[in-house]
């Protein structure tokens, strides 16, 4: 595995993070940091494998310590997850969840107000 291979893979994943999650970063490490908890825990660990491989790829002696199979597996898992994500669907779901929460809170407050008014004999 060459330094160029790791650089190409992390560049591709950085583009996918920007396209499918809306996270921008100059480097792959910055993009993963911005994605934060929106990436599942296991995929964050796989991203760390790629980040450490990218750091070790700069030094020729450290490059021999990089496991190419582990890097390839981490890349494949991250790529598969990011390709299936839909940013617009996530935004719609988030907006609907907020609207549903507000509607529920309004119903609860209205119910409490009616209960207090009935208890006080105003209704």
Q: What is the mean pLDDT of residues 91-111?
A: 97
pLDDT for 5-52, tens place per residue?
999 999 999 999 999 988 988 999 999 999 999 899 999 999 999 999
- Higher per-residue confidence, 120 vs 123: 120
Residue 22, by phi and psi: left (phi above 0), alpha (psi -120 to 50) or beta? Answer: left
The helices-and-strands tally (H runs, E runs) of the chain is 6, 0
């Amino acid at each position: 595995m060459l330094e160029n291979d790791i650089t190409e893979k992390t560049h591709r994943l950085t583009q996918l993070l920007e396209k499918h999650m809306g996270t921008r970063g100059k480097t792959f490490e910055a993009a993963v940091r911005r994605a934060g908890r929106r990436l599942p825990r296991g995929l964050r660990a796989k991203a760390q494998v790629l980040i450490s491989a990218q750091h070790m790829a700069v030094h020729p002696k450290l490059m021999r310590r990089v496991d190419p199979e582990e890097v390839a597996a981490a890349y494949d898992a991250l790529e598969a997850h990011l390709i299936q994500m839909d940013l617009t669907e996530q935004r719609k779901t988030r907006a609907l969840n907020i609207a549903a929460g507000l509607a529920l809170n309004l119903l609860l407050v209205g119910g409490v107000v009616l209960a207090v008014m009935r208890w006080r004999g105003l209704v």
